[in-house]
Amino acid sequence: SIQDSDLIILALPISQIINFMSKIKNISKSKSLIIDVGSTKLKIAKKADELKLNFVGTHPLAGSEKKGLAFSSDELFNNSKVLITPTKNTDKRAVSKIKLFWKRLNAQTVIFSPKHHDKILSYTSHLPHLTAFCLINSIPKDFLAFGASGLKDTTRIALSDVQIWSDIILSNRKELLNSLSSFEKQIKDLKRIIQKGNNKQLIQILKKSKNKRRIIV
Protein backbone atom coordinates (compact mmCIF):
# COMPACT_ATOMS: atom_id res chain seq x y z
CA SER A 1 0.00 0.00 0.00
CA ILE A 2 0.98 3.63 -0.40
CA GLN A 3 1.26 4.00 3.41
CA ASP A 4 4.21 1.60 3.56
CA SER A 5 5.98 2.49 0.31
CA ASP A 6 9.62 3.60 0.23
CA LEU A 7 9.27 4.83 -3.34
CA ILE A 8 6.10 6.15 -4.98
CA ILE A 9 6.11 6.76 -8.76
CA LEU A 10 3.41 9.05 -10.13
CA ALA A 11 2.76 8.00 -13.74
CA LEU A 12 -0.36 9.97 -14.66
CA PRO A 13 -1.43 12.91 -16.83
CA ILE A 14 0.04 16.17 -15.42
CA SER A 15 -3.22 17.50 -13.92
CA GLN A 16 -3.76 14.20 -12.11
CA ILE A 17 -0.17 14.13 -10.84
CA ILE A 18 -0.76 17.58 -9.30
CA ASN A 19 -4.09 16.52 -7.74
CA PHE A 20 -2.57 13.32 -6.43
CA MET A 21 0.35 15.13 -4.78
CA SER A 22 -2.00 16.82 -2.30
CA LYS A 23 -3.69 13.53 -1.40
CA ILE A 24 -0.43 11.63 -1.06
CA LYS A 25 0.93 14.22 1.38
CA ASN A 26 -1.46 12.88 4.02
CA ILE A 27 -1.45 9.15 3.34
CA SER A 28 2.21 8.34 2.67
CA LYS A 29 4.74 7.93 5.46
CA SER A 30 7.05 10.87 5.95
CA LYS A 31 10.07 8.95 4.61
CA SER A 32 8.37 7.89 1.37
CA LEU A 33 10.33 9.20 -1.59
CA ILE A 34 8.02 10.38 -4.37
CA ILE A 35 8.94 10.82 -8.03
CA ASP A 36 6.89 11.51 -11.14
CA VAL A 37 7.45 10.77 -14.82
CA GLY A 38 5.43 13.65 -16.28
CA SER A 39 6.45 15.48 -19.46
CA THR A 40 6.40 19.00 -17.97
CA LYS A 41 8.15 19.80 -14.71
CA LEU A 42 7.71 23.40 -13.52
CA LYS A 43 4.12 23.18 -12.23
CA ILE A 44 4.81 19.85 -10.56
CA ALA A 45 8.01 21.17 -8.94
CA LYS A 46 6.16 24.21 -7.58
CA LYS A 47 3.47 21.97 -6.10
CA ALA A 48 6.06 19.68 -4.50
CA ASP A 49 7.85 22.66 -2.93
CA GLU A 50 4.57 24.14 -1.72
CA LEU A 51 3.54 20.83 -0.08
CA LYS A 52 7.11 20.23 1.20
CA LEU A 53 7.01 16.70 -0.25
CA ASN A 54 10.04 14.41 -0.25
CA PHE A 55 9.99 14.66 -4.02
CA VAL A 56 12.23 14.42 -7.11
CA GLY A 57 10.87 15.30 -10.56
CA THR A 58 12.00 13.05 -13.41
CA HIS A 59 11.22 12.75 -17.11
CA PRO A 60 12.31 9.61 -18.96
CA LEU A 61 12.65 10.39 -22.71
CA ALA A 62 11.31 7.01 -23.77
CA GLY A 63 8.03 5.47 -24.83
CA SER A 64 5.72 5.89 -27.78
CA GLU A 65 2.20 6.95 -28.68
CA LYS A 66 0.98 3.58 -27.35
CA LYS A 67 -0.04 2.97 -23.73
CA GLY A 68 -1.01 0.16 -21.43
CA LEU A 69 0.60 -3.06 -20.14
CA ALA A 70 0.40 -4.66 -23.59
CA PHE A 71 3.10 -2.26 -24.81
CA SER A 72 5.39 -2.57 -21.78
CA SER A 73 9.00 -3.58 -22.33
CA ASP A 74 11.88 -4.35 -19.95
CA GLU A 75 14.16 -2.66 -22.48
CA LEU A 76 12.18 0.57 -22.65
CA PHE A 77 14.83 2.71 -20.95
CA ASN A 78 17.93 1.14 -22.54
CA ASN A 79 20.10 3.93 -24.00
CA SER A 80 17.45 6.52 -23.18
CA LYS A 81 17.97 9.82 -21.38
CA VAL A 82 16.14 10.64 -18.13
CA LEU A 83 15.97 14.30 -17.18
CA ILE A 84 16.01 14.92 -13.41
CA THR A 85 14.73 18.30 -12.28
CA PRO A 86 15.49 19.16 -8.64
CA THR A 87 14.66 22.57 -7.10
CA LYS A 88 16.66 24.32 -4.36
CA ASN A 89 14.43 22.52 -1.82
CA THR A 90 15.03 19.03 -3.19
CA ASP A 91 17.00 16.72 -0.87
CA LYS A 92 20.40 15.98 -2.42
CA ARG A 93 20.52 12.40 -1.16
CA ALA A 94 17.10 11.79 -2.72
CA VAL A 95 18.45 13.04 -6.07
CA SER A 96 21.42 10.64 -5.82
CA LYS A 97 19.08 7.73 -5.06
CA ILE A 98 16.86 8.53 -8.02
CA LYS A 99 19.81 8.93 -10.37
CA LEU A 100 20.90 5.43 -9.35
CA PHE A 101 17.34 4.11 -9.81
CA TRP A 102 17.25 5.26 -13.44
CA LYS A 103 20.82 4.18 -14.14
CA ARG A 104 19.92 0.65 -13.02
CA LEU A 105 17.28 0.71 -15.80
CA ASN A 106 20.11 1.48 -18.28
CA ALA A 107 19.15 5.13 -18.72
CA GLN A 108 21.55 8.08 -18.77
CA THR A 109 20.55 10.83 -16.32
CA VAL A 110 20.86 14.60 -16.93
CA ILE A 111 20.09 17.33 -14.38
CA PHE A 112 18.12 20.45 -15.39
CA SER A 113 16.09 23.04 -13.54
CA PRO A 114 12.33 22.45 -14.04
CA LYS A 115 12.09 25.70 -16.00
CA HIS A 116 14.94 24.87 -18.37
CA HIS A 117 13.52 21.36 -18.82
CA ASP A 118 10.19 22.81 -19.90
CA LYS A 119 11.87 25.18 -22.34
CA ILE A 120 13.90 22.42 -24.02
CA LEU A 121 10.97 20.03 -24.21
CA SER A 122 8.67 22.71 -25.64
CA TYR A 123 10.92 22.54 -28.73
CA THR A 124 12.00 18.90 -28.89
CA SER A 125 8.73 17.19 -27.96
CA HIS A 126 5.71 19.45 -27.49
CA LEU A 127 6.19 21.41 -30.73
CA PRO A 128 6.55 18.22 -32.87
CA HIS A 129 3.28 16.98 -31.36
CA LEU A 130 1.48 20.24 -32.19
CA THR A 131 2.76 20.19 -35.78
CA ALA A 132 1.63 16.56 -36.13
CA PHE A 133 -1.87 17.43 -34.84
CA CYS A 134 -2.13 20.43 -37.19
CA LEU A 135 -0.63 18.59 -40.17
CA ILE A 136 -3.17 15.79 -40.12
CA ASN A 137 -6.03 18.22 -39.47
CA SER A 138 -5.06 20.33 -42.49
CA ILE A 139 -5.31 17.41 -44.96
CA PRO A 140 -8.69 16.74 -46.65
CA LYS A 141 -9.96 13.34 -45.46
CA ASP A 142 -10.25 11.91 -48.99
CA PHE A 143 -6.58 12.53 -49.64
CA LEU A 144 -5.31 10.52 -46.65
CA ALA A 145 -5.33 7.24 -48.61
CA PHE A 146 -2.48 8.64 -50.72
CA GLY A 147 -0.09 9.26 -47.88
CA ALA A 148 3.13 7.23 -47.92
CA SER A 149 5.75 6.64 -45.23
CA GLY A 150 6.57 10.37 -44.96
CA LEU A 151 3.07 11.29 -43.87
CA LYS A 152 2.83 8.24 -41.59
CA ASP A 153 6.02 9.06 -39.74
CA THR A 154 5.44 12.81 -39.47
CA THR A 155 2.00 12.20 -37.90
CA ARG A 156 2.47 8.98 -35.87
CA ILE A 157 2.45 10.94 -32.61
CA ALA A 158 -0.99 12.36 -33.49
CA LEU A 159 -2.16 8.95 -32.21
CA SER A 160 -1.00 9.89 -28.71
CA ASP A 161 -3.35 9.89 -25.72
CA VAL A 162 -5.59 12.96 -25.85
CA GLN A 163 -5.82 13.62 -22.09
CA ILE A 164 -2.09 13.23 -21.49
CA TRP A 165 -1.35 15.68 -24.31
CA SER A 166 -3.92 18.34 -23.50
CA ASP A 167 -2.41 18.39 -19.99
CA ILE A 168 1.15 18.66 -21.32
CA ILE A 169 0.22 21.50 -23.66
CA LEU A 170 -1.72 23.53 -21.10
CA SER A 171 0.85 23.01 -18.33
CA ASN A 172 3.60 24.39 -20.58
CA ARG A 173 1.71 27.15 -22.36
CA LYS A 174 4.24 29.92 -22.00
CA GLU A 175 7.24 28.00 -23.37
CA LEU A 176 5.12 26.28 -26.01
CA LEU A 177 3.81 29.59 -27.36
CA ASN A 178 7.44 30.66 -27.80
CA SER A 179 8.45 27.51 -29.64
CA LEU A 180 5.30 27.75 -31.74
CA SER A 181 6.17 31.34 -32.71
CA SER A 182 9.67 30.23 -33.68
CA PHE A 183 8.11 27.55 -35.91
CA GLU A 184 5.56 29.96 -37.42
CA LYS A 185 8.42 32.26 -38.40
CA GLN A 186 10.17 29.41 -40.24
CA ILE A 187 6.95 28.58 -42.10
CA LYS A 188 6.41 32.24 -43.01
CA ASP A 189 9.99 32.65 -44.29
CA LEU A 190 9.77 29.46 -46.34
CA LYS A 191 6.42 30.50 -47.78
CA ARG A 192 7.87 33.80 -48.95
CA ILE A 193 10.79 32.00 -50.63
CA ILE A 194 8.37 29.63 -52.41
CA GLN A 195 6.21 32.58 -53.51
CA LYS A 196 9.26 34.26 -54.99
CA GLY A 197 10.42 30.95 -56.48
CA ASN A 198 13.89 31.58 -55.10
CA ASN A 199 15.71 28.29 -55.78
CA LYS A 200 18.99 29.39 -54.18
CA GLN A 201 17.39 30.40 -50.85
CA LEU A 202 15.22 27.28 -50.87
CA ILE A 203 18.27 25.05 -51.25
CA GLN A 204 19.96 26.90 -48.37
CA ILE A 205 17.00 26.18 -46.08
CA LEU A 206 16.81 22.52 -47.10
CA LYS A 207 20.56 22.09 -46.55
CA LYS A 208 20.39 23.71 -43.12
CA SER A 209 17.49 21.48 -42.17
CA LYS A 210 19.23 18.32 -43.38
CA ASN A 211 22.45 19.17 -41.53
CA LYS A 212 20.57 19.87 -38.29
CA ARG A 213 18.56 16.66 -38.62
CA ARG A 214 21.81 14.69 -38.98
CA ILE A 215 22.71 15.68 -35.41
CA ILE A 216 19.91 13.50 -34.04
CA VAL A 217 20.35 10.46 -36.30
According to DSSP, residue 90 is labeled S
Residues 108-147 that bind its own copies (CB under 8 A): 110, 120-121, 123-125, 127-141, 143-147
Residues 189-208 that bind its own copies (CB under 8 A): 190-191, 194-195, 197, 199, 202-203, 205-208
Segment near its own copies (CB under 8 A), from 19-27, 41-49, 92-100, 171-179? 171-179
Segment near its own copies (CB under 8 A), from 1-9, 23-31, 84-92, 159-167? 159-167
- Looking at beta carbons only, is 20 or 133 nearer to its own copies? 133
At closest approach, how far in Å is the CB of 13 from its own copies? 12
Is there binding between residue 22 and its own copies (CB under 8 A)?
A: no
- CA atoms of 43 and 130, how far apart (whole Å): 20
- Looking at beta carbons only, is 8 or 167 nearer to its own copies? 167
Is there binding between residue 70 and its own copies (CB under 8 A)?
A: no
Long-range pairs, 23-32, Cβ under 8 A, ≥24: 24/53, 25/51, 25/53, 27/2, 27/3, 28/2, 28/3, 29/3, 29/4, 29/5, 30/54, 31/6, 32/2, 32/5, 32/6, 32/7, 32/8
At closest approach, how far in Å is the CB of 125 from its own copies? 6
Which one of residues 12, 37, 51, 61 is an interface residue with its own copies (CB under 8 A)? 61
- What count of other Cβ atoms lies within 10 Å of the Cβ of residue 205? 14
At closest approach, how far in Å is the CB of 137 from its own copies? 5
Is there binding between residue 46 and its own copies (CB under 8 A)?
A: no
Segment near its own copies (CB under 8 A), from 5-13, 71-79, 92-100, 173-181? 173-181
For residues 183 and 134, the answer to whether their CB atoms sit within 8 Å is no
- CA atoms of 210 and 63, how far apart (whole Å): 25
Beta strands 55-60 and 81-84, pairing class = antiparallel
